[in-house]
Chains A and B, each alone.
Chain A
Amino acid sequence: MKKVSFLRERKPVWERFDSLLGRAESPGPSKLSQDEVSELSELFRGLCYDLAQIRSREWGSSIERYVNDLVIRGHSVFYGAQPLKRGQIVGFFAREFPRLLRKNHTFFWAAAALFVIPMAVSWTVVASDPSLAHRVLPGSVLYTMEQMYSQDFDALDEEGIGRQDAAMAGFYVRHNTSIAFQCFALGFFIGLGTVYVLLSNGIQLGTIAGYIIAQGHGERFLGFVASHSSFELTAIMVAGSAGLVLGHSIVAPGNLARVESLRVRGLVAVQLALGAAGLLFIAAMIEGFWSPQSLPFSVKVSAAALFWIAVISYLSLAGRARS
């Protein structure tokens, strides 16, 4: 068969395949009828044969590339990942994520220790001697923090969005989520990045808390952070455990090659990080809607206790089999 007659015969087939593919590729549920699906798979086999023939007869790179790319798209449709369903998302947060975290509890407790212990130490040390805070953080940061908590939030609110204060507040939210995700991602560097982020943030947060309370703004500070810190600090520890899982997969790959081990346990790590993202999302909601409210300190503390109970019972109980 000559190239030209081959082209004349097969081109309509390729175009048909292309149009069916276009519909199969569009997101959402499959838009092909049953007959069209079987037609597509038959055409796909035909195209694979065409590609082999074009190569063996050396019929030129432009038609080879054309058919090659069609086969790639077909390959992707037949072997690609299943689209995500809404039920899976609910199931993930309701059951799978807490289960996965409990299964990897060693990593969680390690991350928690790396974060909470330095925070507690720096908190107590700075509370007893506030001048030590300047060894950890530059004076400008401490000054800004103190300014933030030395006035009521209603005063800040009047400035409105899009101005300096809202931009700063937005910066802090993004800053916290960045810390959590850095905690996860830097685990790639054999876990050391995660350890560093957990330690340094534990020390910094402890310092800020100790310093502001020592300056006499304790009630306002705790009233603001107590609620959202439940989800935010937990999220950082969860993200930290995700990072440690990632690092551990490189350090101790077991029977797998390191790259393979990374890919297998990276899947576990990303699900933990995704859970952390969910927690951070809730934290951001609380920080945006609830924390700035001017309410009596007692109300705020009780609410914070409820939030803490909620996050702890969610992570320890959700997804357990009923017995």
Chain B
Amino acid sequence: MQTFEPLSNRIYLETPENVRLAFRLAGPGTRLGAYGIDLVVRFTIFYAIAYALSLLQPVTGSGLSTGVFFVLAFLLEWGYGAFFETWWNGQTPGKRALGLRVIKTEGYGIGFYEAMLRNLLRAADFVPFFYAAGFIAAVATPRMQRIGDIVAGTMVVREKRPELKGELAGVFEYEAFPMSEFEHRYRPSEKTLEAIEMLFRRRGELAPARVDEIASVLAEPMIQRLANAERQRRALEMPSEFLFRVLRTARIASTAEAA
């Protein structure tokens, strides 16, 4: 069973284990990029072989090398995508470089026939010029499938291998925040802490003023729960510092509990 979210690149799929998996669909831009890389790879292989054949010609004779050249040209033109997508489980060099993978719409890897089908049908996607039909199909289908994908029952997903990050060491530079200052034993939810963590990780990429601007949105409902008016005023002045102190305190507390 599959569910779609409108205007989202996410697609959800329920497995036989009753787990809902989330897939991130690849958009036309990234796919075009992968196509470009593959084109360069293909031309490089093609000209490398043509050059090698031209060097071998005195040994093999021109008839033989012409024949080999024909066969290789034919195989590269039509076999490149199908070969790599079968052998590398849905990836070509271009897709691998950009972290894309072709999978069945049921969520598992593709086989030879799917790889063949979606690559041969490029000719239909190419109509009337440079993948115009494929682009329209991708925009019109919820799984962003070009014609080859529709017939083969495949979709292209982003496959970033996320790392588990435990690097919040920098947060210890901040002073602990007296959590008793919050009214009614309030504690920020895990979701809020997650948001603060994300901001904390990205603080280096953003201008300090921008960090505070984002922080103030996050911090405001929390600041309202502070009992002390003086604390409220100081937290409003430096919302990012306030958030990071809360983050540190919450994380240390949970580490202490775990230990």
Contacts and interface: CB of A to CB of B under 8 A. Distances in A.
Contact of A62 (B63, B68, B77, B164): B164
B66 A270 contact: no
Interface in B137-163: 147, 150-153, 159-163
Contacts of B54: 160-162
Interface residues of A, number: 80
A52 B17 CA distance: 11
A137 B111 CA distance: 42
A321 interface: no
A59 B190 contact: yes
Nearest to B107: A75
A72 B21 contact: yes
B151 A262 contact: yes
Interface residues of B, number: 74
A69 interface: yes
A4 B123 contact: no
Given A8-B258, A160-B54, A177-B78, A288 B164 contact: no
B171 to A, nearest CB: 14
Contact of A285 (B67, B111, B197): B67
B64 interface: yes
Contacts of B164: 7, 11, 14, 62-63, 66
Contacts, number: 198
B86 A173 contact: no
B157 to A, nearest CB: 8
Interface string A262-289: 1100110111011001001100110111
B74 to A, nearest CB: 5
Contacts of B77: 174, 177-178
Interface string B15-32: 111111111000000000
B92 to A, nearest CB: 14
Contact of B74 (A3, A78, A79, A280): A280
Contacts of B88: 27
Contacts of A86: none
B150 A259 contact: yes
A80 interface: yes
Interface string B80-116: 0000001111000000000000011011111111101
Contacts of B111: 80-82, 84
B255 interface: yes
Contact of B116 (A62, A166, A270): A270
A169 B123 contact: no
Nearest to B161: A69
A184 interface: yes
Nearest to B68: A288
A61 interface: yes
Residue among A77, A81, A158, A289 facing the most chain B CB atoms (10 A cut-off): A81
B186 to A, nearest CB: 17
Interface string A21-46: 00001010000000000000000110
A182 B123 contact: yes
Given A72-B21, A84-B111, A162-B51, A3 B124 contact: no
A68 to B, nearest CB: 5
Given A60-B194, A184-B120, A289-B64, A81 B114 contact: yes
B225 interface: no
A129 interface: no
A59 to B, nearest CB: 6
A81 B152 CA distance: 13
Contacts of B51: 162
A57 interface: yes
A48 B124 contact: no
Interface stretch (A115-123, A186-194, A208-216, A312-320): A186-194
A181 interface: yes
A2 interface: yes
A166 B66 contact: yes
Contacts of A182: 123
Interface in B50-81: 50-51, 53-54, 57, 62-71, 73-74, 77-78
Contact of A48 (B19, B103, B112, B159): B19
- By Cβ-Cβ distance, the 5 closest A-B pairs, closest first, are A81-B111, A288-B67, A185-B123, A80-B109, A5-B258
8 contacts: A27-B87, A60-B191, A71-B19, A72-B107, A76-B89, A161-B69, A170-B69, A270-B117
Given A81-B110, A166-B69, 18 more contacts: A8-B258, A52-B18, A60-B194, A60-B197, A69-B162, A157-B63, A158-B62, A160-B57, A174-B77, A178-B77, A181-B120, A182-B123, A187-B124, A189-B127, A270-B116, A270-B120, A285-B67, A288-B70
